[in-house]
Amino acid sequence: MDHMVYSPKLRLLDMHRDLSAVADLIELCFRDQMDADGVAYIRQMRRLAQEMAYPAVLLANPPRVHFSGLVWEENGKIIGNVTLIPFVKDGKPVTLIANVAVHPDYRQRGIGRALTARALEVIRDRGNRAAWLQVREENQPAVQLYHSLGFVERTRRATWELNPKYVKAGALSEGEVTSLGARDWPQVRAWLEALYPPLIAWNLPFSAEPLRPGWWPDLQRWMNGQSVRHWALRGGAGMIGALIWEPSRLSADILWPAAAEVNLVPLLTGVLPFAVQDLRSGRPLTVNLPVWVDGTALGTLGFQLQNTLIWMEIPDLG
């Protein structure tokens, strides 16, 4: 909390002073893994930093985004950062720890540990019982740090991305691509909920209800300026699966596959070329899969593995 006494080096982030230096630090520390959304995030931080420099403008237009966190300062230079993002999970306030970053010249001196440990105290003092974070599975220094502070793995998911220009026609799949109707929904919903259970869904922009097919949901989406597209793959024995497209404000739109696990690859193989032709947007498409589903076959369809994220939690901060 604000009245806490910090060591002179470790203090709360001050949005008016620190944002630009924090943006530089995050860019430096994450440049090897930064995707288009990361670049947009840094740009947004820099824009906010500029707005912060003009109090008159701020008064008229209060910032829509609020950055909260801790920084480590040495000789007037910010060399460490932790960002704290509050959100609600299962009706309870929890905090996501993000942007844990230490300048390469200052690593392995305990700064990352001190920042994260203090962040946990701040979160607890703010009345939150749980802290969450996500980390790429290959980032062993960070994974070790979080384990040693008491974080436990809750789930792991992979994100695959396809540039529609490079969609490869897979081996001929059985079945016929058709529309998806309202009466298909109970089955499709059950498949979706099996692939995206709550532990996976809460950290994705996934919610089954807004994806429901039918003329009435279509009309409601149209009135709200939203859109969703559906395709079904049907074989002799009935529906093999469905593919649902949802636009996103991030750099890639989202595909939600719905099928029994064994049918995921036949579904994508059969429907993807149709879907790409239908969409004609040229925008990249992502598919998120929990890691218990083997996604390697997506590579043969032209997808590239973007990352595999481990989601970790400290469930009870005391």
Ligand X SMILES: CC(C)(COP(=O)(O)OP(=O)(O)OC[C@H]1O[C@@H](n2cnc3c(N)ncnc32)[C@H](O)[C@@H]1OP(=O)(O)O)[C@@H](O)C(=O)NCCC(=O)NCCS
Which two structure tokens, joined as six digits, stand for 281?
Answer: 């947007």
The verdict on 111 binding ligand X (CB under 6 A) reads yes
Q: Closest by alpha carbon to 233, among 202, 253, 258, 206?
A: 258
The verdict on 108 binding ligand X (CB under 6 A) reads yes
For residues 29 and 33, what is the distance between their CA atoms, to the nearest angstrom? Answer: 9
We find the least distance from the C-beta atom of residue 82 to ligand X, in angstroms, to be: 9
Which of 44, 50, 140, 207: binder of ligand X (CB under 6 A)? Answer: 140
Interacting positions 214-243 with ligand X (CB under 6 A): none
Stretch of residues binding ligand X (CB under 6 A), selected from 8-16, 121-129, 144-152, 166-174: 144-152
> Which residue reads 């309202």 in tokens?
182
Nearer to ligand X, 48 or 102 (CB): 102
From edge to edge, which strands make up the β-sheet containing 10-12?
Answer: 10-12, 68-74, 77-89, 92-102, 130-136, 304-314, 152-162, 285-290, 253-259, 238-246, 229-235, 176-178
Size, binding site for ligand X by CB under 6 A: 20
Which two structure tokens, joined as six digits, stand for 218?
Answer: 């279509």
We find the least distance from the C-beta atom of residue 289 to ligand X, in angstroms, to be: 21
3-state secondary structure string across 220-231: HHHHCCCCCEEE
The verdict on 109 binding ligand X (CB under 6 A) reads yes
Which of 44, 50, 144, 296: binder of ligand X (CB under 6 A)? Answer: 144
Q: Which residues pair with 304 in a beta bridge?
A: 161
The verdict on 148 binding ligand X (CB under 6 A) reads yes
We find the least distance from the C-beta atom of residue 70 to ligand X, in angstroms, to be: 12
Stretch of residues binding ligand X (CB under 6 A), selected from 4-12, 101-109, 240-248, 259-267: 101-109
Nearer to ligand X, 112 or 266 (CB): 112
Residues composing the chain: 318
What's the Cα-to-Cα distance from 299 to each of 14, 94, 168, 171, 257, rounded to whole Å? 44, 36, 9, 13, 16
The verdict on 112 binding ligand X (CB under 6 A) reads yes
Query: Residue 216 is inside which H or E element, if any?
Result: helix 215-223
Stretch of residues binding ligand X (CB under 6 A), selected from 51-59, 111-119, 223-231, 237-245: 111-119
> Over the range 93-109, which residues count as b (16 or more CB within 10 Å of their CB) and which as e?
ebbbbbbbbbbeeeeee
Residue 119-138 contact track with ligand X, rule CB under 6 A, x = bound = ----------------x---
For residues 298 and 287, what is the distance between their CA atoms, to the nearest angstrom? Answer: 9
The verdict on 77 binding ligand X (CB under 6 A) reads no
Nearer to ligand X, 77 or 168 (CB): 77
Stretch of residues binding ligand X (CB under 6 A), selected from 98-106, 185-193, 220-228, 234-242: 98-106
Which two structure tokens, joined as six digits, stand for 2?
Answer: 């604000």
We find the least distance from the C-beta atom of residue 138 to ligand X, in angstroms, to be: 10
- Residues found near ligand X in the complex (CB under 6 A): 29-30, 100-102, 107-113, 135, 139-142, 144-145, 148
